Structure 1
Amino acid sequence: MAVSTSFIAGRLFDAKHLVLASSDLDEVVEGCSRMLRPHDLAMRGRRAKLAARLHHLPIGPISLNRLRYGGDVTVVPELSEEGNFLVTLPVRGSAQFRYGSAVAEVTPGHGTIVGPYREFRLDIDGAFDQILLRLDRRRVEVACANLLGLDKATPVHFDLALRGFPAFWHKLLEAAASLSMFSEALAHPKMLVRLEELIIESLLMAQPNNFSGPIAAANGAAPSAQVRKAMDYMREHIADAVSLGQVARHCGLSLRSLQAGFQRDLGTSPSRWLRAQRLDRVHAILLSSEPGSVAVTDVALQCGFFHLGDFSARFKQRFGEKPSVVLAKRRS
């Protein structure tokens, strides 16, 4: 987690993302409440001072933030029906988080996730520096219902302390930070929604929560006819930012059931199958395009790729040459 956190922190340290730099208590509370969650803030110690800095990077429906208070503080967020989930990835320093009856010591490599449902208190030291991923409560609840093929969304309660996440999840957060650098990506809002869905779905499957049992149990393999239906649906929407949750819901399946059916019939996962189809589509477009009519970045984004470095590597792995080389062949 530490390498990925440092990467994101570097991206968010840019001056253009700085939205708050203040030692005034009221100004800090107002600014952080607006960007993150309404809360009360109290200094700890008679001589305590603030030197707060907040960087904010909105990426479609999610946001990445870097926050340090620069002083020993206690934060007590408000409970709200329109609340959110906050995933904390520490960069340096230490803090103690209390959420309901759970307590976690927060240091680099040991993050947390808190929801909007229970009382919450943070005791933070002056050196504590953190990356905060903000996720909308209702979108998390809907994503969980979609994973299970349920019509009704209900509260999701994660364990407070984050478990170690697979590299895939770190790649998603790196992609979120990287996308802010590409104006082309911001012109494709569905891409950003798809990125959010991937982050939430991977969080639901990796981090223990009150639906971990049902999510793990919903793994009966889909019938072959439903697998073919899913393949047809993904082909029809290959240029769209369609999520696997949407595919499963279209076929009346849980996500785990869809994955098991693909593994049985095709020996691969639906995400890998879809990625291969998208790579083939990009390859075909690059080969057939008129000289100067397309850019590799635009074609990749239009075909569902938002981590452009990963796209280039996978393209070369599949076709033996870089996408730019394929496009140049067409021009020669």
Structure 2
Amino acid sequence: MNLCLLHEKSRVFANTYPGVVSDYANEHAGAHRVIQRRISDPEASLKHRTIGSLDLFQMSYGSRVQITSPEREALYHLHIILKGHCMWRSCGEEHGLAPGELLLLNPGTPFDLTYSDCYEKFIVKLPARFIDKVCSENQWSYPSEGVRFAPIHRLEQLDGFLSLLSLVCQEAETDQTIFQVKEHYAKIIVSKLLSLPGSNVSREPLGGACRSFERLEELIEKNLKQSISLEQLADLAHMSAHSLYALFEKHAGTTPKRFIRQRKLEAIYARLSDPQVAVSSVTEVALDYGFLHLGRFADYYKSTFGELPSDTLRRRG
């Protein structure tokens, strides 16, 4: 797979020692440790560019090396093997990677990579916050523990991905391109990766997730007198807090907290208005629905219904 994605203008090092490339990669790509399997002539090389929130690297240590990382920080890494071979080991699993295969490394997962002689790889560094942002903007949901990718893939699973990467690298090497355009390309890369099988992201638009919202409404209605946390709602819907907020914005036009408060206020209004419901005092009803600060409750109530709760109770006769 003889492919040059980044060109000479992106060159940082050529024919240097592995330690030099390792120091640079630790600073710009992410923490790791390199063990050189044999002493060789200085043939390590590295090219580096940024595009929006992503970093692009094309690199080789010039000889057989082992790379380890006991923990991943808040970063994902996409590795594409361009030349040579790599043995990946992580959490009791292992797989031999050849040119044309992709490796996706998740945060918080240790790994061990052993590369053959004469290898070359392309790396995309993807900050976790940026992946969350792309999911949120597309209104895609994922579990509260964060996005997770299956580690091993083939380029054939991403139709046109190499052509896209070539275009992205070309844009990254164009100094005149404005940041907003580069950020747009970065979002396309992440969106493409999120379509890979084995990720825990649901790419169904939240507009089509009515059943999830209906389940949340049912939970809220059944527990109006209880304290309902955002964590409970997110767990029920199997989505992150970001996706939960997007779901409520889409279906209710407000935040989860305000939605719950509104439903509580409506239930209190119904009780205070209905002469068939025995009510001894406004305070009793407010406390029953979890409003412990009575002055604040009265403000919410009047802002919603245009009158104080005591006026509603008095008006029913």
| TM-score (normalised: structure 2) | 0.59
Larger Rg computed on CA atoms? 2
Query: 1:43·1:49 contact (CA, 8 Å) conserved in 2?
Result: no
Amino acid at match of 2:62: G
Name the residue aligned to 2:198.
Answer: 208
Confirm or deny: 8 A CA contact 1:149 1:252 kept in the other structure. Answer: no
- Distance across 2 between alignment mates of 1:170 and 1:23: 28
Shift of 1:107: 1.0
Residue 36 (structure 1) aligns with: 29
Rounded to whole Å, the distance in 1 between the matches of 2:119 and 2:110 is 21
1:20 partner letter: F
Moved more, 60-69 or 26-35: 26-35
> Structure 1 segments of 4 or more deviating over 6 A?
248-251
Cα deviations by residue, 1:237-266 (Å, 9 ceiling, x for unpaired): xxxxxxxx9xx889727xxxxxxxxxxxxx
The one of 138, 146, 149 aligned to 1:155: 146
In structure 1, give the amino acid aligned to 2:250.
G
Question: Which amino acid letter does the alignment assign opposite residue 42 of structure 1?
Answer: I
What is the TM-score with the length of structure 1 in the denominator?
A: 0.56
| Unaligned residue ranges in structure 1 (runs of 5+) | 223-244, 254-332
Q: 1:179 is matched with which residue?
A: 171
Distance apart, 1:23 and its partner CA: 4.4
Is 2:90 the partner of 1:93?
no
> 1:217 Cα deviation (Å)?
8.6
Q: Supply the distance in 2 between the matched residues of 1:151 and 1:204 (Cα, whole angstroms).
A: 11
- 1:104 and 1:160 in contact (8 A); partners too: no
Aligned length: 216
2:75 to 84, 91, 97: 84
Please state which structure has a larger fraction of its residues in helix.
Answer: 1
Q: What corresponds to 1:252 in structure 2?
A: 250
Q: Does residue 20 in structure 1 map to residue 13 in structure 2? A: yes
* Alignment map for 1:1-332 (pairs within 5 Å): 6=3, 9=4, 11-14=5-8, 16-21=9-14, 23-45=16-38, 47=39, 51-81=43-73, 83-148=74-139, 154-163=145-154, 164-185=156-177, 188-211=178-201, 214-215=202-203, 220=208, 252=250
Q: Which residue of 2 aligns with 1:288?
A: none
Q: Determine helix, strand or coil for the equivalent of 2:124.
A: strand
CA distance in 1 between partners of 2:127 and 2:78 (Å):
11
Give the C-alpha shift of residue 192 in structure 1: 1.4
Compute the RMSD of aligned alpha carbons: 3.1
Unaligned runs of 5+ in 2: 211-242, 252-317
Query: Which AA in structure 1 matches 2:32?
Result: H
| Residues 13, 45 of structure 2: 8 Å contact kept | yes
